Amino acid sequence: MNEKHKSGFVALIGRPNVGKSTLMNSIIGQKIAITSKKPQTTRNRIQTVYTSDEGQIVFVDTPGIHKSKNKLGDYMVNVAERSLKEVDVILWLVEPTDYIGAGEQHIIEQLKKVNIPIILVVNKIDTVKREQLLGYIDTYRKEVDFAEVVPVSALKRDNTDVLVEQIMKYLPYGPAFYDEDTITDQPMRQIVAELIREKVLRSIDEEIPHGVAVTIDTMKFGKKLVDINATIICERDSHKGIIIGKGGLMLKKIGSLARPEIEDLLEQHVNLQLWVKVKKDWRDSDYLIKNFGYDAKQLEQ
């Protein structure tokens, strides 16, 4: 055992849209998990790696814990709740408020079942006055025995260095799980697909995004150019028309927003071709859920 180097797994949990992916991206310093203002953006358990001289933190970004409405929702909640039993530290992200709703109460019930250090992370502190924070923190302290409480702004990267220091305090000593150049366990094709899905989420205001998945059909690397063919999957013929847009304008917008970020990720120029297909009610199909990159077996565990 290495008595100077620490390493361990840290779960980020919280209600949808509380800023888990933004926080993880901020600490890692690179965009891995997609973000949007719409809830339930993250669907898979995403691991990213933070490495320093002191140690290595493997962050597990889970889907938001919420009341599910279909098999995909069941899968997402199952992934989030199972993650609590497989880590060394739990980060519970909350917004600065003195109201604890039904969703937070459900998370509190889950946290009371584990014997793991829990750090309360009050996110979005840039949206409230500092003198209000103590009252908000006390509201949550009455519910759970936290190892630490750290206020942050994930968006502005305020206090994230302090959060890293507090996490390190509770990690066990041991060797690194990944080499120092690794930042995620996600396949490159999956990251590209998620970047495209993010642009759909951000471009379309209707309920359609909840029924959208993206698959990478081909990804061919040339010396100067990467050719990518991707398909956006939706659940209704009417949804397909909205995603394509009049004269194909919406689809072009999605592609133009996604392309620069994919080029930054791959460090090459990209030729991105997008298509749209309808798979009716795919979120209630075990086969299609698995086919689109979500492990349907976890629904049964």
Q: State how beta strands 213-221 and 148-151 pair.
A: unpaired
Give 239-265 pLDDT, tens digit per residue.
899 999 999 999 999 999 999 989 988
Residue 3, Cβ neighbours under 10 Å: how many? 7
Query: Using CA atoms, how far apart are residues 232 and 251, in angstroms rounded to an integer?
Result: 10
In this structure, of 154-168, 178-192, 264-278, the range with the lowest mean pLDDT score is 178-192
User: What mean pLDDT is reported for the chain?
Assistant: 81
Q: Which residues contact 259 (CB under 8 A, 6 or more apart)?
A: 270, 272
Residue 82 has pLDDT above 80, yes or no: no
Across the range 222-229, mean pLDDT stands at 90
Residues 6 or more apart whose Cβ sits within 8 Å of residue 5:
54, 55, 56, 173, 174, 175, 176
Q: Which of 130, 97, 125, 92 is nearest to 108 (CA)?
A: 92
Q: 249-266 and 188-203 are packed helices; what angle lies between their axes, rounded to 10 degrees?
A: 140
State the Cα–Cα distance between residues 122 and 225, nearest whole angstrom: 43
Structural domains of the chain sorted by starting position, each given as residue range(s) with its CATH number in brackets: 6-169 (3.40.50.300), 188-300 (3.30.300.20)
At 292, the amino acid letter reads F
Q: Who has greater pLDDT, 209 or 52? A: 52
Mean pLDDT over residues 64-78, rounded? 52
* Confidence category of residue 288, pLDDT binned at 50, 70, 90: low
Residue 169 vs residues 61, 101, 122, 267: alpha-carbon distances, Å? 20, 30, 19, 36
Tokens 């993250």: give the residue. 42
Whole-angstrom Cα distance, residue 277 to residue 267? 29
pLDDT at 290 over 50: yes
Beta-carbon-side half-sphere exposure of residue 50 (alpha carbons within 13 Å): 25
Give the other-Cβ count within 10 Å of 215's Cβ. 17
Condensed to tens digits (0 to 9), the pLDDT of residues 132-147 reads 899 999 999 999 999 9
Q: Is the pTM of this model over 0.85?
A: no
